Structure 1
Amino acid sequence: MLLTISTAHVPATDLGYLLHKNPARLQTEELSFGKAHVFYPEANVDRCTVAVLLEVDPIALVRGRRGPAGDGRQLQQYVNDRPYAANSFMSVALGRLFATALSGRSKERQELVDISLPLNAKLPAIAAGSGSELVRRLFEPLGYRISTESGLLDETFPDWGESRYASVEIAATTRLRDLLTHLYVLIPVLDNEKHYWVSDDEVEKLLKRGEGWLAMHPEKDLIVSRYLKRQRSLTREALDRLAEETPEIEENQEETRNQEEQQVERSLGLHEQRMGTVLSVLRGLGARRIIDLGCGEGKLLRYLLADPQFEFTLGMDVSWKSLEVAKERLHLDRLPERQKDRIQLVQGSLMYRDQRLSGFDAATVVEVIEHLDAPRLEAFERVLFAFARPMHVVLTTPNVEYNSVFETLPTGQFRHRDHRFEWSRAEFETWAKSIADQYGYEVRFQAVGPQDQMLGAPTQMGIFSRVGGAA
């Protein structure tokens, strides 16, 4: 079985530092089921590729096993596909070969660890029971571009149907440790088989490698079940612990955001002006089905629910605590059925592709993007503009130029402690125009709040519309 990982990052040979594997020599690791070889088919300044080649020994797989004489299953143990497409073998090999890279450590180049690199991973032959559909369900929500190729099991006998094997290629600009982690967890999930006994320690492995992304993955239940070989008790334990570990940081940030927003912007009544402007724009666009991303405690949802133009609204937030508050404030449990059918609250991350985000007239993103660091902002851009692709996006963010007007805000300080950035009007317009060009949208801009002749308005808004209504 073969896996290659390539990068065009310059200098591309940085890949060797991150993997702790010298491109100049072949390295071999003895494993219980055979051997794993690491080598570099190419390694130069412009492009570098590392290859992991597994040599699985079918005799070693069954050595020590016993079965009744003449049992046909004994022959099956020796004559099977495991040496060529056993996904769990590759997962184990990655854990052994690249343990340091998976942990996010680099002795010589630690600064590289947290840099997003253009990475491409190929598996020329891998067991994938549901073919390209399952590959996409697992990897696309994580921001990967997917290419798969499969065919008939045997062209001479088309009645045998499709092969369960596929060639898979995934690509993204991401940290190497994240790519390795996703491969480590998801490769065995594609196969739904493991060559070793699954016990309690597999739950610990899964939760360790799934930290920071698995709890919010839309296919979380499927991943956990297949990774743990559908053992109900282990699956239930893992899902319960994932539910408990929904990042408290996000919930604390939401609370901090609300408190500081009130303190800094209350004198302008800016919150009400933002809500009013967003609603006015949505009405003007003729939007009827709305998704509010990062809906928090439901402030905008309350206005949307009160306006009969908006036939259905979906509110999504990463914080379960915020959604519970929103549910209470909207009195969802006491609404008439007709009203209740017009709104739904769901927990989810803005970082991962999610089918629930598709099919909306407009998406609202109100004071959200400034809370995302650069890699997460890039992932969010793809999720919203490449995958969800609503007809319109109404997005607001602070105008940093206006901050000097706030008497209580020290010079050079952001409005909220959890902001990763605050853009000037020129910076926001440059970003928005770039996004619109890249994903087939047009964008226009609107000021929100009282305008200063030199500094502009406190909030800036971008209104994105799909060019020609193209999908």
Structure 2
Amino acid sequence: MLLTLTTTPHPDRPFPATDLGFLLHKHPDRVLERELPFGRATVFYPQATPEVCTAALLLEVDPVALSRTTRPGEGAPLEPYVNDRPYAAGSFLAVALRDAFGTAMTGRSQERQALADTPLPLVAELPCVAARGPAGLPERLFGPLGYAVETGPIPLDPLFPEWGERPYVRLRVSGTVRLCDLLAHLYVLLPVLDGRKHYYLNEAEVEKLLRHGAGWLDTHPERDLIVGRFLRFRELVRQAEATFTPEASEEEAPRDPHPRLHDARLDRVAEVLKASGSARVLDLGCGEGKLLRRLVEVPSFRELVGVDVSARALELAADRLRLKERPELEGRVRLLHGSLAYRDSRLRGFDAAALVEVIEHLEPHRLDALTANVFGDARPRTVVITTPNREYNAVFAEKNRGEAAGMRHADHRFEWTRAEFRAWAGAAASESGYAVRFEDVGDVHAEYGPVTQMAVFTRGEEA
């Protein structure tokens, strides 16, 4: 795979184009080769004149080495040996980019610091980029950053155009921008375009995203998409989101006569819990405490407990609830670090529990454990569960000009149709001695049903 970076002298600051070498810390007359765990990276200059200078990063990925690191059971049998990783730009190229131009990405240049601080006319070209997702994704990612974006489809076979196109494009982005900014944009957005990474993700990825997204990611109109596809996992996404500019407080926010789906969902769950007559309530998968903020204002809820697997999310929930500033909540509101995949004696004896948009973030094989732990061990009288209705995704696809709709969040492990959700909920209720009823939440389509589906489980006298 190949990336080229081209510059010409700035019209207001004449300089030889070959000064690009000072910014990249790579001399135009030399070829640099670096061994990487997955192949070899080479930096060279196809052209280097005072008028035009182009630096190229060539990455040769070793497919045999890749096949040796693939874990058993991943993908189709031949996928470790026959895949697009050696050819299509994505996370491999992003890693090579940081390795080759790490100092340039910091914006430092010992010889030409003033030039490093100056926006320059730059063009980045990649002959093959993995672009999995909706049409126009490269424009949606690079366009808001001020680049002119040009893409060209790559046919599956040039001799048989009727076979259609592959999920790859030729990509050219150009603009007047600091070199360090262009490198940071490429480092973050190439894996986002691909939607995959070749290495294990952990909390270090959050730091990378925030460092290279500083100054532009917070205000990018596709911020949620970028964060979700770069980090993939819910806990990592939450950690990143916690650092962004906070939303206006409810007192400052204008009142919308048509509340957003997220607010409508939380409002309806709060109403159901209040109507259940519950005094002690669990919010399982409480996240940043948005449901708890609604419940804490209801005096009939004498004890509220939020549980989440993310310690950082619990810190944010404590801040949102202002627990340190409201001594009257001491003893009434508690936040617990825990996982629904394991039994937890702390969750027993409550009147009600809510799982708002939680189950779809679990691996399907862990649902049996959740069912046993919530309905069999904790056994609150009332359980309220909401989850997306996969059928309604067709409405989003139609609004997106017919593009196929994927899952609503990068961390969703599945999304159920109405029939699938009812089958699971009915089985869980039957096995645990609960009755269950279903509600529609949010917009309801005549054919596809509600945007969100809700199940309310009751047992004992309530059944």
- Relative to the length of structure 2, the TM-score reads 0.51
Classify the secondary structure of the residue corresponding to 1:83. Answer: coil
Alignment of 1:355-394 (within 5 A): none
Q: Does 1:201 align with 2:204?
A: yes
Aligned counterpart in structure 2 of residue 233 of structure 1, from 218, 232, 235: 235
Letter in 2 for 1:138: L
User: 1:315-340: CA deviations, max 9, x gaps?
Assistant: xxxxx66x988x47xxx44x9x69x9
Mapped pair 1:63 → 2:68: yes
Provide the secondary structure at the position in 2 that maps to 1:22: coil
Moved over 6 A (4+): none
CA distance in 2, matches of 1:132, 1:147: 13
Letter in structure 2 aligned against 1:22: H
Residue 27 of structure 2 aligns to which amino acid in structure 1? N
Which segment is superposed worse, 145-154 or 43-52?
145-154
Per-residue displacement from partner, 1:206-245 (whole Å, max 9, x unpaired)? Answer: 01111111000000000000011x211111221122235x
Q: Distance between the aligned counterparts of 1:72 and 1:117, measured in 2? A: 43
Measure how far apart 1:121 and its partner are.
Answer: 0.4
Change (3 A) 1:73 1:47: same
- Is residue 82 of structure 2 the alignment partner of residue 79 of structure 1? yes
Look up the match of 1:367.
none
In the TM superposition, what is the alpha-carbon distance from 1:62 to its structure 2 partner?
Answer: 2.8
Q: Could you say which residue in structure 2 is the equivalent of 1:53?
A: 58
Question: Is 1:131–1:166's contact at 8 Å kept on the other side of the alignment?
Answer: no
Give the unaligned 5+ runs of structure 1: 245-319, 341-471
CA contact 2:154–2:170 (8 Å) conserved in 1: no
In 1, Cα distance between the equivalents of 2:46 and 2:53?
Answer: 8
**Aligned residue runs from structure 1 range 209-288, under 5 A:** 209-228=212-231, 230-244=232-246
SS class of match (1:77): coil
SS at structure 1 position matched to 2:121: strand
Q: How many angstroms apart in 1 are the aligned matches of 2:171 and 2:119?
A: 22
The answer for the alignment partner of 2:123 in structure 1 is 120
Q: 1:198 to 1:79 in 2, by over 3 A?
A: same
Summarize the Cα distance change of 1:46–1:204 in structure 2 as closer, same or farther, 3 Å threshold.
Answer: same
Separation in structure 1 between the aligned mates of residue 151 and residue 75 of structure 2, nearest angstrom: 34
TM-fit CA distance, 1:160:
4.4
- Kindly indicate whether the alpha-carbon contact (under 8 Å) linking 1:122 and 1:170 is maintained by their aligned counterparts in 2: yes
The structure 2 residue matched to 1:172, chosen from 160, 171, 175, is 175
Q: Aligned-pair distance for 1:156?
A: 5.6
Query: Are 1:37 and 2:42 matched, yes or no?
Result: yes
Q: Of residues 94, 103, 107 in structure 2, which corresponds to 1:104? A: 107
- Is 1:16 the equivalent of 2:21? yes
Secondary structure at the residue paired with 2:99? helix
> Post-superposition shift, 1:155?
5.2
3-state DSSP of counterpart to 1:138:
helix
Cα distance in 2 for residues equivalent to 1:119 and 1:72: 39
Q: C-alpha displacement at 1:31, in angstroms? A: 0.4
Per-residue deviation, residues 353-387 of structure 1 (Å, max 9, x unmatched)? xxxxxxxxxxxxxxxxxxxxxxxxxxxxxxxxxxx
**Do the aligned residues in 1 keep the contact of 2:17 with 2:52 (CA within 8 Å)?**
yes
1:28-54 CA distance string (max 9 Å, x none): 111000000000000010000000000
Q: Which amino acid aligns with 2:21?
A: G
* Equivalences for residues 158-169 of structure 1 within 5 A: 160-169=163-172
Q: Give me the whole-angstrom Cα distance separating, in 1, the residues matched to 2:163 and 2:94.
A: 29
Q: Give the distance between the partners of 2:206 and 2:220, measured in 1 at CA.
A: 17
1:389 corresponds in structure 2 to none
**Equivalent pairs: percent with the same residue?**
53
User: Which shows bigger deviation, 175-184 or 156-165?
Assistant: 156-165
Residues of 2 paired with 1:167 and 1:66: CA distance?
Answer: 31
Aligned to 1:388: none
Larger helix share, 1 or 2: 1
Q: Distance between the aligned counterparts of 2:220 and 2:165, measured in 1?
A: 28
Q: Distance in 1 between matches of 2:104 and 2:113?
A: 10
Would you say 1:144 and 2:142 are equivalent positions? no
Q: Residue 67 of structure 1 contacts residue 74 of structure 1 at CA under 8 Å; is this kept in 2?
A: no
Amino acid at match of 2:3: L
| SS, match of residue 124 in structure 1 | strand
1:5 partnered with 2:5: yes
C-alpha displacement of 1:161: 3.2
Deviation for aligned residue 1:111: 1.3
C-alpha RMSD over aligned residues:
2.5
Q: Which amino acid is the alignment partner of residue 102 of structure 2?
A: A
The one-letter amino acid paired with 1:189 is V
Between the aligned partners of 1:51 and 1:214, the Cα distance in structure 2 is 26
The answer to whether the 8 Å contact 1:131/1:165 transfers is no
Aligned amino acid, residue 39 of structure 1: F
- State the 1:157 CA deviation: 5.4
Structure 1 position 167, deviation (Å): 0.2
Q: CA deviation at 1:142?
A: 0.2
Distance 2:98 2:71 in 1: 29
State the AA in 1 paired with 2:129.
I
SS in 2 for 1:167: strand
CA shift digits 1:257-314 (9 cap, x unpaired): xxxxxxxxxxxxxxxxxxxxxxxxxxxxxxxxxxxxxxxxxxxxxxxxxxxxxxxxxx
Give the direction of change, closer, same or farther, for the CA distance of 1:118–1:89 in structure 2 (3 Å limit). same
Report if the CA contact (8 A) 2:131-2:169 is conserved. yes
- Spell out, residue by residue over 1:42-84, the C-alpha distance to the aligned partner (whole angstroms, 9 max, x if none): 001000000000000012223254538xx98453211211100
Count of residue pairs brought into register by the alignment: 254
2:19 counterpart letter in structure 1: D
- 1:36 partner letter: A
User: SS state of the match for residue 243, structure 1?
Assistant: coil
Name structure 2 gaps, 5 residues minimum: 10-14, 260-463
What is the rounded CA distance, in whole Å, between the counterparts of 1:132 and 1:6 in structure 2?
27
